[in-house]
Amino acid sequence: MGSSDQRPGGRRCGRHLVLPVLVLVGVVNSALSQRFEAHLVERLPHFFIVEVADINNHGEMVGSAYRGSGGVVAVLWRADGSAVELPYLPDNPTDPRANAYGINDRGEIVGRSSVGAIPGVAVMWPNENQIVRLLRGSSVAVDINESGAIIGYGEIDLFRFQGFLLGPTGSSAMLPLLQMQYADGINDRGQVVGEGPGLVPMRWQDNQFIALPTLGRRASAYTISPSGVIGGTAEDESGAFVPVRWHNDEIRELPMPREIAGFVDSINESGVMAGAWQIEPGTSRVAIWRNNLMTEPNDLLIDAQRGVWVVGYGPGLWINDVGQIAGRGWDGVTSGVVRLDPVDIGLTLIGFEPSRPGRRNVIEVNHATPGGRVSILWGTARGEPAPLEQCPGAMIDITDPRLAATGVAGSDGRATISVFIPAHVEGTYILQAVDHRTCEVSPPAWALLKMEN
């Protein structure tokens, strides 16, 4: 499966590491949640690195743990945070290896396990105690939907390396996805996304392959929401790979602070996306995209954890439909898998529509003081927090902040502020909201203003 490592960023299977997960009690609606509380889950002894690859709607997570002495095991983290090593295929060699990459709400898990001289074949764990081999040749299963349909890729025969579709559960039928070299994501409608040879992003449904548009020459589609919104990465005009989403088969570039590399790993039914971006070669940070705004999870932690916790020091991030996020983190003492649980508190920027210059845009803020004045500040760079003269105690993270617009919050604490963006204003901007009654400042968020977006 070595060729899978040559792709830009990506969803699973060694294309990048996955982050820690958090544990949550009383999950709130992800469309309303503003902040997150981080929880480390059980650590596995004798493993030097752990990757998370998926989280289901019960807060159960799967991934892989690597021993310092060699070898890798597939891992399930139960909803209570306890960890379980999943079994290998029984005919494994003396150095068994297994990786878990996807889990559905029924607890069915897919991945790969070594067998004989083959480094990995596609497998399913119907539960934490059983393992079933799915294919004969070198292959990997990467995702499973709620009906048990499984997708992945591998050596379908001696001459073809391509994507496949199996299932649903109880069916042994295997459908080669003839035009799709890699199959990376499937939703409950049976829509599959992946890519063809040469990094051509594709969607498959109703036995038809649809090539998705790109920004430049190449792109990869990694994940698809229940409603069919797709996330991934695309090469832009400069040759950099940037995070993108496809909606109704139209592509949109997503904001990130610097254009080195970025990608969307996962997307939930509310359209909230999670992934990562590179700040420099070999160093990545994780991100959340919602309504054309990008926010870093570390900025969204509850006040008691901000400045102490570090979430996502490795690339990759995974979100479920209730808004829980899985990744890797550090609480100032211990590092490991972490789960972020959504909390519906705190002044937060929640939308910037349509994020286009030359027209009127609407900026949305939640959890402001009802009836209070709210201002939006913006600039082009993030700097050290500095006091805001008009609000004692307020600290702004924007270098040379300027006033973009002012509005009044409604009785529900939501401010909907309209602002005209001149046609010549393009590029990535950082925004923060200020509640003038409390002098509370929202976490910084990035927006990409671009005509073709």
Listed as own residue / partner, the contacts of 217-220 with beta carbons closer than 8 Å and 24 or more positions apart are 218/8, 219/195, 219/244, 219/251, 220/7, 220/8, 220/9, 220/10, 220/182, 220/184, 220/194, 220/195, 220/263
The answer to whether residues 377 and 398 touch, using CB atoms and an 8 Å cutoff, is yes
Q: What is the pLDDT of residue 160?
A: 63
The answer to whether residues 444 and 351 touch, using CB atoms and an 8 Å cutoff, is no
Q: Where are the domains of the chain?
A: 2-343, 348-449
Q: If one looks up domain 348-449 in CATH, what number appears?
A: 2.60.40
Average pLDDT of the chain?
87
Please indicate whether the domains covering 2-343 and 348-449 agree at the CATH topology level: no
Token pair, residue 430, equals: 């950082």
pLDDT, one tens digit per residue, over 389-408 is 888 889 999 999 999 999 99
Ramachandran quadrant class, 235 (left: phi over 0; alpha: psi -120 to 50; beta: rest): beta
- Alpha carbon separation from 14 to 18, 129, 315, 410 (Å, rounded): 9, 25, 11, 47
Burial class (CB in 10 A: 0-12, 13-18, 19+), 9: buried
pLDDT, one tens digit per residue, over 51-106 is 899 999 999 999 999 887 778 999 999 999 999 999 999 876 667 889 999 999 99
- The whole-model pTM stands at 0.90
pLDDT, one tens digit per residue, over 275-313 is 998 777 667 789 999 999 999 999 999 999 988 888 876
**SS3 state at 438:** coil
Closest CA to 413 of 344, 323, 341, 322: 344
Residue 142 to residue 219: CA distance in whole angstroms: 19
The answer to whether residues 348 and 365 touch, using CB atoms and an 8 Å cutoff, is yes
Residue 169 has pLDDT above 70, yes or no: no
As a whole number, mean pLDDT of residues 18-40 equals: 53
pLDDT, one tens digit per residue, over 343-394 is 999 999 999 999 999 999 999 999 999 999 999 999 999 999 999 988 888 9
Residue 71 to residue 101: CA distance in whole angstroms: 17
The answer to whether residues 23 and 265 touch, using CB atoms and an 8 Å cutoff, is no
pLDDT, one tens digit per residue, over 171-210 is 567 788 888 999 999 999 999 999 998 889 999 998 899 9
Q: What percent of the chain has pLDDT above 90?
A: 66
Fold category of 2-343 in CATH: Methylamine Dehydrogenase; Chain H (2.130.10)
Cis peptide before 168 (omega within 30 of 0): yes
Q: What percent of the chain has pLDDT above 70?
A: 89
